[in-house]
Each structure stands twice: as C-alpha cells, then as structure tokens.
C-alpha cells in the first residue's frame, strides 16, 4: 500500500476528558498560592510551540515577566524559527529561548539567568527592591524537560549535579512546588511544579500532539492510535526516514502494514490460539503493540528525523 498523504486524520470520535489525572488540579491551586513570592515565570514546552500551552496561566502572566523555553530542540525541525517567533510574539510571548537541556553545555542555558535578571530588574518589584535574591517558577505540561532544565541550570551555574529526578514518563514530579537553588551569583531559586495541563484541550488533535510528545501516559490514549497519528504526521510533513529505518519499500498510509513490517524487522511476534472448525491451532502473528511502542519511541528519541508538529 503506497502513501497518498491523508489530508485529515480520523480520531474515531475520541474524547480527551479522561486523559488528565486529578493531581494536576491540586498542583494548580498550590501554584496560584505561591505566585506572590515569584519574580518571573519560566514556561517550558517542546516539539509543539503553540499546542497545549496552558491557557490557565495567561491570566497570571501579564503580572510578571515570562520566558518561554522551547526544549528538545535537537529533535525539532527549526527551519521556520522566525515564523514561530513572530507567531508567538503576536500572542504576547516576546522572550523565547531554544534549548537542548540534555546537552552538557548549552549556550542558551547560559543566557537564561542574565535574561531573567534583566527582565526582573527592569520592572518595579514592589517590596523587594533591596532583595537581590530572585525566585522563579517553572511551569509546563508533563514530560517536556522541566527536571532536565533544572539539572542543566545547576550544572551550568553551580557546577553541581542532579537536583531533580528525570523520568521519561509524565508525572514524575508529583511533589508539589519543590524549591531548588539553581544559581549562586545572583542567588536564584526555582519552584519546580508538577506538570499541569489544561483540563480542556481545544481539539482532539492538540491532545494527540501532546500524547505523541509523551505528555499524556501512552496507555490512556492507546499506543495504536498514537502510532497511527505519528504515521499521518510524518507523511503530511514529508518526513519519510521511517521507510529506510524499518525496511519498507515505500511510504505508506496504512498503519497496520507499517507496524507489521516493524514487527518483522524487530522479530516482535506473539503466539496466539486460533479456534478453527477442526480444533485449536497456535499461530504466530506480529506483535502490533510492541511495534507501535518502538515506532513512537523512535520518534521521541529523534531517530525519525527532526520534526516540528505545529
């Protein structure tokens, strides 16, 4: 089956309401209570600079400086960087840094504290003029690299190792509002927050992009549908490196065909009992779930090329 490049994706009447666990609402409440002592908000996001950014924060962002960090840039197609910056500026976000927090040395991480200090200094700080300690709050949807950013800041400014546990699964930072020092001169503390998602996502498509980036636990959405949406996205963007990676003859829109090829290449099969008219027989079939999981993981690790989903 060849690839005709579907123009729309069929979400099969899915509803995103049940994708968001309750601890996020609790986190949001505690974050609001802490905002009084915060000088600047650092928001972090990844492959999707527009989708899934939390609208609940917009009402508080006008009050204090705000920096948007677009992380995992080593995995992202940045050919339209200027277009992204223009679109973000129109929506009111002027301070944007592109980072790769897992890199040992990232120049943009070095810029973060000076940029933030300059922003804070250029505004009245109410009762805190004499105070040169700065307090930042780190916000963002789950699994975009908040813990990696904290560790990168500590590596850069304090020459210290990990302060925050890094997990490749959303929801590792369950402890609400941990205060962590990330810089000594000046003294900068950061409130790390649990990943908070908007309870309403404007469309199932946005939910799907978030799922693809690992923001929502895979099993809540289903690996099969995430893999199908990934295939649709790669074909739509003309990113066909999966063909060579998994030994396909050509690009394809048919996820079952693609997963079958992946399963064969990776030798991922399962034995199942088939009931026939003349008794039960055991047959070996491709393990589609294992193949789907490998396909999704390859995307998240950047093995299918650089992709910007928005």
Binding residues for GTP: 71-74, 143-148, 195
CA distances from 266 to 44, 234, 258, 294, 304 (A): 35, 21, 12, 9, 16
**Encoding tokens for residue 77?**
């197609």
CA distances from 146 to 71, 72, 100, 248 (A): 9, 11, 12, 36
SS3 178: strand
Q: For the chain, report the end-to-end CA distance as a whole number of angstroms.
A: 27
Q: Can you say which residues are annotated as belonging to the binding site?
A: 71-74, 143-148, 195
Burial of 40 (0-12, 13-18, 19+ CB in 10 A): buried
Question: What percent of the residues of the chain are helix, what percent strand, and what percent coil, each to the nearest 5?
Answer: 40, 15, 45
**Encoding tokens for residue 292?**
């789907």
Residue 24 to residue 194: CA distance in whole angstroms: 7
Angle, CA of 21, 23 and 25, to the nearest 5° = 95
Q: Give the number of residues written for the chain.
A: 310
């Amino acid at each position: 089956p060849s690839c005709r490049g579907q123009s729309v994706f069929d979400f099969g009447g899915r509803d995103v309401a049940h994708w968001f666990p309750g601890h996020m609402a609790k986190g949001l409440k505690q974050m609001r209570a802490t905002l009084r002592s915060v000088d600047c908000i650092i928001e972090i996001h990844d492959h999707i600079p527009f989708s899934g950014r939390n609208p609940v924060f917009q009402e508080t962002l006008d009050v204090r400086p705000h920096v948007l960090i677009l992380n995992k840039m080593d995995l992202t197609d940045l050919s339209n960087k200027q277009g992204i910056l223009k679109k973000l500026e129109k929506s009111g976000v002027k301070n944007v840094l592109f980072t790769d927090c897992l890199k040992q040395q990232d120049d943009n991480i070095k810029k973060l504290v000076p940029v933030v200090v300059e922003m804070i200094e250029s505004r009245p700080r109410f009762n805190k003029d004499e105070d040169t300690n700065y307090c930042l709050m780190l916000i963002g949807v789950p699994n975009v690299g908040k813990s990696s950013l904290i560790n990168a800041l500590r590596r850069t400014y304090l020459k210290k190792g990990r302060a925050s546990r890094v997990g490749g699964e959303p929801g590792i930072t369950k402890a609400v509002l941990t205060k962590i020092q990330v810089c000594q001169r000046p003294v900068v503390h950061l409130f790390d927050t649990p990943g908070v998602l908007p309870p309403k996502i404007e469309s199932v498509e946005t939910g799907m992009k978030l799922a693809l980036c690992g923001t929502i636990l895979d099993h809540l959405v289903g690996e099969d549908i995430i893999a199908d949406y990934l295939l649709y996205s790669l074909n739509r963007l003309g990113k066909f490196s999966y063909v060579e990676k998994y030994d396909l003859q050509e690009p394809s829109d048919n996820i079952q065909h693609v997963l079958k090829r992946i399963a064969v290449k990776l030798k991922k099969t399962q034995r199942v009992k088939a009931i026939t008219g003349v008794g039960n027989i055991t047959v070996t079939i491709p393990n589609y779930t294992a193949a789907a999981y490998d396909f999704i993981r390859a995307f998240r690790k950047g093995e299918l090329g650089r992709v910007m989903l928005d």
